């Protein structure tokens, strides 16, 4: 799974550590239950409430366009991506 840059990783962690939903004693996000040290590392993950965003990756894990805009249509707590497009 492709990783974000070290700078982006630290920014994501800072956001999580300062988030009201961060469960410090478990090191997990209280919204999705993920361990933030792993969740924040991967390009394909995103914050369930849009504090930080998924980074689009293409073949071979190359970045297509960097960070994408927050998807306001996602339901809070939904951390999955689905598509019917072919």
Using CB under 6 A, list all residues that contact ligand SF4: 15-16, 19, 21-22, 29, 31, 36, 47-49, 51
- State the nearest-atom distance from the C-beta of 59 to ligand SF4, in Å: 27
Gap between the Cα atoms of 29 and 2, Å rounded: 21
- State the nearest-atom distance from the C-beta of 15 to ligand SF4, in Å: 5
- Residue whose CB is less far from ligand SF4, 4 or 47: 47
- Residue whose CB is less far from ligand SF4, 9 or 22: 22
Closest CA to 35 of 49, 20, 24, 44: 24
Instruction: Write out the two tokens for 27.
Output: 């090191």
CA distances (Å), origin 4, targets 7, 11, 42, 85: 8, 10, 6, 26
- State the nearest-atom distance from the C-beta of 16 to ligand SF4, in Å: 3
Judged by DSSP in three states, 55 sits in strand
- Residue whose CB is less far from ligand SF4, 10 or 58: 10
């Amino acid at each position: 799974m492709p990783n974000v840059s070290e700078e982006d990783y630290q920014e994501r962690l800072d956001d999580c550590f300062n988030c009201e939903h961060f469960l410090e004693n478990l090191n997990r996000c209280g919204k999705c239950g993920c361990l933030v040290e792993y969740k924040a590392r991967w390009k394909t993950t995103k914050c369930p409430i849009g504090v930080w965003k998924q980074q689009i990756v293409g073949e071979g894990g190359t970045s297509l366009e960097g960070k994408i805009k927050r998807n306001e249509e996602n339901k809070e707590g939904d951390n999955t991506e689905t598509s019917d497009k072919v």
